[in-house]
Amino acid sequence: MTKRSVRIAPSLLSADFGAFRQAAMDCIEAGADALHYDVMDGIFVPNITFGTHPIAALRRDFDVHFEVHLMIQSPERYIEDFARAGADTIIIQPESTVHLQRTLALIKQNGKQSGVALNPSTPLNVLEYVLDDIDHLLIMTVNPGFSGQKFIPAMRTKIADAARMIESSDKDIVLEIDGGVTADNAQEMIDLGATALVSGSGVFGYPGGVKCGIKALLAAV
């Protein structure tokens, strides 16, 4: 098995919300390449998490790449707010907006990297005519809404298909996996073609805490 460079992005959704700043610092100190920030509105997904204020507060203290994953209905309403709050990459779900291309263009107009996250049942071909508009493709390997769910096995084929699609497009698009990623399956994700991994419960729930979890994940890839 070949060792490849991969970006590790711990999901703050699994952090202790009473110690958010410490959690972000622990992730950075342990070698995380980015912080994954899951925004949920209770409509697009059943859960509600956080908005722009926590990321703006973290942004003041940390010079790290923030990827904001918007699991909210009509995300076009909040692109400017998250751009201003300090997001570096803004990832939207095509199932949540009627005007996918327009919303991706809005992210770019705000000077940010644009990303698309696909629900497990959403086919890759929704991206066929927007590949010029995306920097980042996130394959959801659980149904969005909660951390701690099990990786859906059928997503292996989708990851490999997505990697092939990106390769044949000749574009520089990050292929990230989100949902049920742990040190045990991280190398398999990379072998399927992933170039970035999100992990929530896999790192925050690791024995010894998040620093040990990130180190275990980094050692596994």
Residues identified as active-site: 38, 178
Residues 112-171 that bind ligand DX5 (CB under 6 A): 142, 144-145, 147-149
Q: Both tokens of residue 53?
A: 């204020």
Provide the strand spans (E) within 99-157: 113-118, 136-140
69 forms part of the interface with Zn ion (CB under 5 A): yes
11 forms part of the interface with ligand DX5 (CB under 6 A): yes
**Bridge partner residues of 37 (DSSP):** 68
178 forms part of the interface with ligand DX5 (CB under 6 A): yes
Helices (H), 38-113: 52-61, 79-85, 100-109
> How many residues bind to ligand DX5 according to rule CB under 6 A?
21
How far apart are alpha carbons 178 and 180 in whole angstroms? 7
End-to-end alpha carbon distance in the chain: 10
CB of 114 to Zn ion, least distance (A): 16
Binder to ligand DX5 among 75, 179, 193, 213 (CB under 6 A)? 179
Q: Is 131 exposed, middle or buried (0-12, 13-18, 19+ CB in 10 A)?
A: middle
In the complex with Zn ion, which residue's Cβ is closer, 69 or 158?
A: 69
Binder to ligand DX5 among 69, 112, 136, 158 (CB under 6 A)? 69
CB of 71 to Zn ion, least distance (A): 7
54 forms part of the interface with ligand DX5 (CB under 6 A): no
CB of 62 to Zn ion, least distance (A): 19
What angle, rounded to 10 degrees, do the helices at 20-29 and 52-61 form? 50
Q: Which of 210, 166, 213 is nearest to 192 (CA)?
A: 166
Among ligand DX5, Zn ion, none, what does residue 139 contact (CB within 5–8 Å per kind)?
none
Binder to ligand DX5 among 181, 192, 194, 197 (CB under 6 A)? 181
**Which residues are at the interface with Zn ion (CB under 5 A)?**
38, 69, 178
